[in-house]
Structure 1
């Protein structure tokens, strides 16, 4: 595609162009490898405008997701307290958000992610980098184990969300939140702080493992 010369002026159209460009870059490169400069280039604006409208890369990513939560504010609630019950607190936090009136936005995005690869990439980046990575870091988990533990926790959190809010499988769909906390929390706790099977010790070095 041939780009127009020059830069966009600073206005509402520019803000929307930055958001559109950011969604593309985040989906293509992931949160870690995306940069403000790359997003500005995609949007045909000066990087200073990206900072002007959104501040940091993290705030821009949250704006792209258009979700009613800020993990930076919520995750400390799940981490604070006894380490051995962090799994239950994390599940309780997730359910409290998704069961709230604001949760409909997250549910809509989850449904979209089930059928749209682009949305799925954004959702994955959000869950991994903004929620689970924060939880893992807050618990002081070994950096070598963090990626695997994060992915395993994601199997529980994402699976619970799909079953409860998308597929609506009973009795999970209508179960009281605390029942799910009691049922799912221990599994999340095991993935957070429990012993991992020996096979995972060399997993990153195996073909397809990382």
Structure 2
């Protein structure tokens, strides 16, 4: 090395900044407290606003302020996070077997009144409407909803019925109430849409009672 080279200061070596790994979460990490719940809350909101078809994993991630990789980490594909959102939305309906366990007398009225109260409440109605609308327009969403309703709700109802054709009876009772929901809250067909809860219960309860107890 020459004397001139010894006197000249050496340029500092730049330390390369670590590259961000692909798929690394932004703003939250797997295992952070509340991350899963935040993603699920965002998914419910986005599904409610856009429906199943127009909702993407990226849109859910943006709403939750996380990397899309985190959404996949916790829930997998879109249909799986939709199913998780359904479970939360339908949580009130999962107490239906307990209403049946109270005995056959007046079960039609109890179920009709309870079901309508869930849909009359704006807080529970909004996510349920999103689920129903998505299932009506998208076969994947319909398949997920069918599987959930069968596995988590109807089979539990059937377990409480000591009647022939118990599964068919449970499905007919569910169809009766879902038909009321579609006409009253989704299509808003009059005069059903404007009828009072008491009026609807008075007409619907006897039919549900007959399905679930064979009583006329």
Supply the distance in 2 between the matched residues of 1:76 and 1:148 (Cα, whole angstroms).
Answer: 16
The one of 56, 68, 87 equivalent to 2:108 is 87
CA distance 1:81–1:124, shift in 2 (3 Å): same
Residue matched to 1:21? 77
With normalisation by structure 2, the TM-score equals 0.58
Aligned-partner SS, 1:105: helix
For residues 117-161 of structure 1, what are the alpha-carbon distances to aligned partners after superposition, in whole Å with 9 as ceiling and x for unaligned?
11112222233332333233224445xx22211221222011111
1:65 and 2:120 correspond: no
Structure showing greater Rg: 2
Q: RMSD in angstroms over aligned alpha carbons?
A: 3.0
CA distance 1:68–1:115, shift in 2 (3 Å): closer
The Cα shift of 1:163 comes to: 0.5
The Cα shift of 1:176 comes to: 1.5
Conserved 8 A contact 1:78-1:90: yes
Residue matched to 1:57? none
Number of matched residues?
151
Conserved 8 A contact 1:87-1:185: yes
CA distance 1:119–1:61, shift in 2 (3 Å): closer
With normalisation by structure 1, the TM-score equals 0.60
Aligned-partner SS, 1:173: helix
Residue matched to 1:175? 195
Supply the distance in 2 between the matched residues of 1:62 and 1:141 (Cα, whole angstroms).
Answer: 31
Gaps of 5+ in 2: 1-23, 36-67
Gaps of 5+ in 1: 1-7, 25-59, 196-210
